[in-house]
Amino acid sequence: MLVRFRGIKFHVSNKFDNYTQRIIINFQISGQKLYLWRKNAIDNAIAAKVSVKEVDWLLQHISDLDSLSLRLESFKNRPKIFLQKSIEQITILWQKRLKEHLPVQYIVGRVSWRNFELDVSPSVLIPRPETELIIDIVQQTSCYSKSSHWVDLGTGSGAIALGLASLLPDATIHAVDYSEAALAIAKTNAIKTKLINQIQFYQGNWWTPLSHLKGKVQGMVSNPPYIPSSQLPQLQPEVFEHEPHLALDGGTDGLDAIRYLVKASPEYLISGGLWLIEAMAGQAAAVVAMLSQHKDYENIKIICDLGGIERFILAFRR
């Protein structure tokens, strides 16, 4: 149905978003006008030293265009292209990206991670591609019983919990986060991916809400805050100014949360239970030393990401 409001024509779909129950509104623009907008946005991105790929990433998520039509610019002769936001709204958001360093993932409210399309907001860290490997490590190293319990501590957007649920369809996944706002997003993502029945969510600090699982957990996986407090201002402005510091700040040496996870986890893990975390470049040796000094861990390993950075530390409960 075509509607005119304050001089702007847009198409209103009678379909509802299954998860947010919001009406999807598609604004109409000609291909030529969008072509000119894109060209200008690319020029502005170059001037601001922002990746020009972000322009097309944004357009793919708010229009009916795919990457090929954008790359070939084959859309410019189309009489109509439908957008989820008006071109004026998109311009304002793109200026926030350039001038305020607002991550494009927060602009569209979504990010692709493994085979999921996840909701994100400034209440959660944007899931990184390197973190996807943490699920592959679980797949390659673990044997588990059908009734096993797995824990994602500091779940944020729920990405790791969803990855575990998809990999381990017979397991129960327990996802914990201190932030209620983050948990709301994680639950939404679990609903969208149809994995909500497999995941239980808890608001609280690390292991604290899971006392009923002592001695029952097959695996603990976490991407904890690990940036030393003094280094936070040195992060990219997109990260420092917009992503939640609660999920970034690891204390004086960046190891506060990891130190706790080393100490507290044996009480919850079964014998042979998996302990796996992501850490900052340069921290792996210190984490291995902590685990080695603790009598409850064995088979301790450092695993590199695809860039060769010592990113993950794996151990097992004796």
Both 225 and 153 in one domain: the answer is yes
Domain span at 201: 123-317
Contacts 24+ apart (CB under 8 A), 103-108: 103/238, 103/242, 103/243, 104/54, 104/57, 104/58, 106/242, 107/58, 108/58, 108/61, 108/62
Distance CA 98, CA 22 (A): 28
Q: Could you tell me if residue 266 is inside a domain?
A: yes
For 135, counting Cβ atoms within 10 Å of its Cβ (0-12 exposed, 13-18 middle, 19+ buried), the class is: buried
**pLDDT at position 14, please?**
36
Provide the number of structural domains found in the chain: 2
Both 157 and 62 in one domain: the answer is no
Q: Could you tell me if residue 82 is inside a domain?
A: yes
Both 163 and 294 in one domain: the answer is yes
43-52 tens-digit pLDDT: 999 999 999 9
Distance CA 20, CA 300 (A): 43
| Tokens encoding 131 | 């973190």
Both 73 and 180 in one domain: the answer is no
**pLDDT at position 15, please?**
35
Q: Could you tell me if residue 116 is inside a domain?
A: no
**pLDDT at position 6, please?**
33
Q: Could you tell me if residue 118 is inside a domain?
A: no
Residue 13 φ/ψ, nearest 5 degrees: -85, 145
**pLDDT at position 64, please?**
86
Both 166 and 313 in one domain: the answer is yes
Q: Could you tell me if residue 104 is inside a domain?
A: no
Both 237 and 151 in one domain: the answer is yes
Count CB neighbours of 184 within 10 A: 17
Both 267 and 188 in one domain: the answer is yes
91-137 tens-digit pLDDT: 998 999 999 999 989 988 889 899 999 999 999 999 999 999 999 99
Last residue of a domain, one of 67, 99, 131: 99
CATH number of the domain that 226 lies in?
3.40.50.150
Q: Could you tell me if residue 217 is inside a domain?
A: yes
| Tokens encoding 66 | 């795919």
**pLDDT at position 5, please?**
32
Both 143 and 257 in one domain: the answer is yes
**pLDDT at position 146, please?**
67
Q: Could you tell me if residue 108 is inside a domain?
A: no
Both 90 and 148 in one domain: the answer is no
**pLDDT at position 262, please?**
97
**pLDDT at position 141, please?**
87
Low pLDDT (below 70) residues in the chain: 1-25, 142-143, 145-146
Q: Render the burial of 254-267: b for 16+ CB within 10 Å, e for the rest.
A: bbbbbbbbbeebbe
Both 56 and 90 in one domain: the answer is yes
Both 62 and 151 in one domain: the answer is no
**pLDDT at position 147, please?**
74
